[in-house]
Structure 1
Amino acid sequence: MANISDVFSQLSGRPDRHSIFEDAQGILAGVLIASLGLFFMGKAHLVTSGMAGAAFLLHYASGLSFGLLFFLINLPFYILSFLRMGLAFTLKSFAAVAITSALVDVQSRYLTIGEINPVWAALIGGLLLGFGLLALYRHRASLGGIGILAVYVQDRTRFRAGQVQMAFDAIVLTFAFLAAPLPIVLASVLGAVILNVFVMVNHRSDRYSVLR
């Protein structure tokens, strides 16, 4: 979900200048916005990049809760997160994933959407998810997932983190082609592109270096 290998490299070794309250409100705001983006995507039966995309595919195939699946498939990555990014980042990311998982599943109690165009869901969902991720990154947290593994693989092999993440996203979208109509898959690709471009353009350490 978004190419966060560069984000991790920007965060590594930087002091955490936010207070506990600042982190708490920033992470809560981030997960609220991100979960709304995922909710829009789910209502249009879209997938996205990263582990959220994998969770969507499993959700559509099995009927199990997206939130539960998203929470469970992220569990193995916390070991790598601890090794690569440290305890504070790992705990914040665990909390962010857990809250997001719960929020996506309870959104329908408070928000009813009868029908949404897949392209519009991709646009709005991708932007909302991007905004949510930016908030999390600024408070040294993430929504877990393949980006952590990608950085870990890069440290130990000749493969770059971006290549690992792109390969995983390609696998997710390939399965989407097998499981969903072409318009839905194309809208999903659009949403993933919007998400990644938004994060790439708006998260720059040289521009926001004073904020941690």
Structure 2
Amino acid sequence: MKKILNILLGCFLASVGVILLKHSMIGTGGTAGLSLSASYLLNVPFSLVFFLVNIPFYVFSVLRMGWKFTISSIISVTLLSLMTSVTQWLPAFTLPIWFGAIAGGIIIGLGLSILFKNGSSLGGANILALFLQKRYNINPGKTNFIFDFMVVMSSMYALGITRGLFSILSIAIISKVIGYFKNEYANKDKTVQPKTSTDKFRVTPQIPVTR
């Protein structure tokens, strides 16, 4: 139950971050960035594009990460798609691009960190990042940044140079947040020393009582 609540929290935070980016008219990386750029160009809902773009990545996830992780990721992507769809009922408003880049980046980074910790992702580059961390112990924040940077650079046509640069700022912040919490979890794991097999059977010697 706790894991389910954490996944819901991670999706909620990520959706808030995406909404901030969308109302700042800037993008981000990964499949979310591709979906935002497509929604700007085609004038279609982000939630629909985001769900469809992630479908090919599920095949890789099934082959490399297993069904349990894939199903969890599909649920997370679906939840994010549903949560971000509330923008159509929100009043129209515009946020400063610097605010959207910083606040959106921090909130999305927190959301992704919670999802990663609970064995889930938001598809796309997240799946690749977790696979490389699992197989080669590569920092997922760095993997996300490289992939996201390429996405943002290719989407500058839809965003323009200025907004593209602020998009790079947002993915840099996301990468830092993910990398920070990845290191925090690693440090906590090191401080928790597992019991040895003999610890389970260790008996405290009884001190004889002299009369």
Fold match (TM-score > 0.5)? yes
User: Of residues 72, 83, 99 in structure 2, which corresponds to 1:92?
Assistant: 72
Q: Paired residue for 2:11?
A: 31
Given that residues 54 and 123 in structure 2 are in contact (C-alpha distance below 8 angstroms), is that contact kept between their aligned partners in structure 1? yes
Q: Once superposed, which parts of structure 1, at least 4 consecutive aligned residues long, lie more than 6 Å away?
A: 150-155, 161-164
- Relative to structure 1, the CA distance from residue 163 to residue 199 in structure 2 (aligned partners, 3 Å threshold; closer, same or farther) is closer
- Relative to structure 1, the CA distance from residue 170 to residue 194 in structure 2 (aligned partners, 3 Å threshold; closer, same or farther) is closer
Cα-Cα RMSD: 2.7
Q: Paired residue for 1:51?
A: 31
- Relative to structure 1, the CA distance from residue 128 to residue 153 in structure 2 (aligned partners, 3 Å threshold; closer, same or farther) is closer
TM-score normalised by structure 1 residue count: 0.77
Q: 1:203 is paired with a residue of what secondary structure?
A: helix
Q: Paired residue for 2:21?
A: 41
User: Of residues 177, 180, 184 in structure 2, which corresponds to 1:198?
Assistant: 177
Q: 1:47 is paired with a residue of what secondary structure?
A: coil
Q: CA deviation at 1:178?
A: 2.1
The structure, 1 or 2, with the larger RCO (C-alpha pairs under 8 Å, 6+ apart) is 1
In structure 2, runs of 5+ residues without a counterpart are 135-139, 193-211
Equivalent runs, 1:162-173 vs 2, <5 Å? 168-173=147-152
Q: CA deviation at 1:171?
A: 3.4
User: Of residues 124, 127, 130 in structure 2, which corresponds to 1:148?
Assistant: 127
User: Of residues 90, 115, 132 in structure 1, which corresponds to 2:111?
Assistant: 132
Q: Paired residue for 1:17?
A: none
Given that residues 33 and 128 in structure 1 are in contact (C-alpha distance below 8 angstroms), is that contact kept between their aligned partners in structure 2? yes
Q: CA deviation at 1:163?
A: 8.7
In structure 1, runs of 5+ residues without a counterpart are 1-20, 156-160
2-side partners of 1:150 and 1:138: how far apart?
A: 13
Q: 1:76 is paired with a residue of what secondary structure?
A: helix
CA deviations over 1:91-147 (Å, ceiling 9, x no partner):
1111000010111111453x5462210010010000110111111111100001124
Q: CA deviation at 1:208?
A: 3.6
Given that residues 55 and 70 in structure 1 are in contact (C-alpha distance below 8 angstroms), is that contact kept between their aligned partners in structure 2? yes
Given that residues 26 and 136 in structure 1 are in contact (C-alpha distance below 8 angstroms), is that contact kept between their aligned partners in structure 2? yes
Equivalent pairs counted in the alignment come to 186
TM-score normalised by structure 2 residue count: 0.78
Given that residues 44 and 118 in structure 1 are in contact (C-alpha distance below 8 angstroms), is that contact kept between their aligned partners in structure 2? yes
